[in-house]
Amino acid sequence: MSQKQMKEAFVSNLNGTTVLEITQGLCFPAFCILCRGFLIVFSQHLCSFSHTWKTRFFIDFVVLVVPLVTTLTILASFIFLELLTVIIVGAGLFYQIYQRRTCYARVPVQKILEEFLKVSLESEYVPAISSFRVIISVFTAIAILAVDFPLFPRRFAKTELYGTGAMDFGVGGFVFGSAMVGLEVRRRKYIEGSRFDYFAKSLYSVWPLVFLGIGRLVIIKSIGYQEHVTEYGVHWNFFFTMIVVKLITSLLLIIFPLNKSWIVALGIIVSYQLALDFTPLKRLILYGTDGSGTRVGLLNANREGIISTLGYVVIHMAGVQTGLYVSKNRSHIKDLMKVVCFLLLAAISLFISLYIVQVNVEAVSRRMANLAFCIWIVASSLILLSSLLLGDIILSFAKFLIKGALVPCSWKLIQSPVTNKKHSESLVPEAIKKEPSLCLITALNRKQLMFFLLSNITTGLINLMVDTLHSSTLWALFVLNLYMFTNCLIIYVLYLQDKITKF
């Protein structure tokens, strides 16, 4: 067996892990982001701290990226303990901030909370959505390389037919996150005004994906790189899926009202599942047109990628609906708390629906992107998003207690808790005043597609240079951390220099 065949077999015929383990894993980076915010608040006023770009990058990398690398590798069996640990650390930091608060120092807790609920927020964008997209990007970047090393748990890799793998969520979460900041959500006037203009802009927006999809196909075939054929097919890849999803959803949103995206999504996925159950469609996906698993012909060669696009269309439409709801202008903390409660309730309802569907209809299948898969992706995405929103609220309260505290990529409190505004501003470090958005989260969010492309390129280069299948644990950890450090640093420096390539 050749090296290529060995690597392909290493990532094939896997069955995934439990929904609970993946859900716990999703909450972990959300609490890491919260702890990162507490550290910044703590450092700004309570201790001497240098806010140079190098220091900020180092803190963001150590607090946000390194824990995720270890969670997906050597500490994969201790996700609950990691989650508990980061919660305890966060609680300790918050306690220290509260004890040394500079606002309402002699006021009862109840009174402080009452005043906090009256605080206004800057609502130009939702930091939790940016964090959501960054978490998915970082997870995907780690996983696409780590999966080739023995220390990556096989249960986290993409499943063959049925099951829930962590990497399966990464694909769906990427589609969901992109939809929340799509053209439909950011520029609703294109839907409400000229529909032709909107569709033309949607067509134009996919040209980078066409270039990347074709480029990846040519390079993979030219160098004989290992492929998991049952993932998308012989020629298809994720970039082509994103192109088709974008075109189909653009057409649907021209025909149907934007705020009815969830109804359209529900109609499509129910119809698709009925077709899987009562027509030869499922057999076509699994065994081809002749029932023998042939890959002859364009449809047979890429049947998984082509047909599963319907499921990703549904996930995208659900992401659009979520983005519209979360991005509505909300002026007070109490309004944001209502959003968190609604998202949590929706997620719980979907998880209950997932259990019912898996028992009575069909299990989760990434290969077919069936009803259960779409429910699972949307439910898990809502859990992650609600966790991040809750973290934003808690972090806002910590900032409310400290005069002039600012944290990059978090809500900005418009109503100051102190009466002397000038004095409050003087407590903000000069570095933060000049570049308040200077952080790794903002950089990765602004350059998500570039980061994804860079990660794919460096993953391919490492696989060509390193024998990943026979690497020791220490060597694998070193390579993974160096790989993530290099990718993040390149994107961070480009962001600092304002060399932004807008796709």
Q: For 192-210, what is the HEC assignment?
A: HCCHHHHHHHHHHHCHHHH
pLDDT value for 46: 59
pLDDT value for 195: 66
Of 2-16, 308-322, 454-468, highest mean pLDDT: 308-322
pLDDT value for 423: 36
| pLDDT of 390 strictly over 60 | yes
Question: Which of 11-20, 82-91, 326-335, 340-349 is least confident?
Answer: 326-335
pLDDT value for 11: 76
Q: What's the rounded Cα separation, in Å, for the pair 452 and 459?
A: 10
* Mean pLDDT in residue range 293-308: 89
pLDDT value for 498: 66
User: What are 267-287's pLDDT values in tens digits?
Assistant: 999 999 999 999 999 999 998
Q: What is the DSSP string of 11-24?
A: TSS---B-HHHHHH
- How would residue 422 be classed by pLDDT, with cut points 50, 70 and 90? very low
190-193 long-range contacts (CB < 8 A, ≥24 apart) are 191/253, 191/254, 191/258, 192/258
User: What are 171-220's pLDDT values in tens digits?
Assistant: 999 999 999 998 777 765 445 556 677 677 777 778 888 888 898 888 88
pLDDT value for 432: 42
Give yes or no for a contact between 272 and 370, defined as CB atoms under 8 angstroms apart.
yes
User: What are 4-13's pLDDT values in tens digits?
Assistant: 777 767 777 7
Q: What's the rounded Cα separation, in Å, for the pair 42 and 39?
A: 5
pLDDT value for 437: 55
| pLDDT of 304 strictly over 70 | yes
| pLDDT of 412 strictly over 50 | yes
pLDDT value for 50: 55
Which candidate, 17, 271, 311, places its Cα nearest to that of 176? Answer: 311
Give yes or no for a contact between 16 and 168, defined as CB atoms under 8 angstroms apart.
yes
Paired residues of 121 in beta bridges:
413
User: What are 31-85's pLDDT values in tens digits?
Assistant: 999 999 998 888 876 555 556 778 889 989 999 999 999 999 999 999 999 999 9
Q: What's the rounded Cα separation, in Å, for the pair 343 and 345?
A: 5
Q: What's the rounded Cα separation, in Å, for the pair 492 and 447?
A: 9
pLDDT value for 49: 53
Q: Which residue has the higher pLDDT, 479 or 197?
A: 479
Burial class (CB in 10 A: 0-12, 13-18, 19+), 455: buried
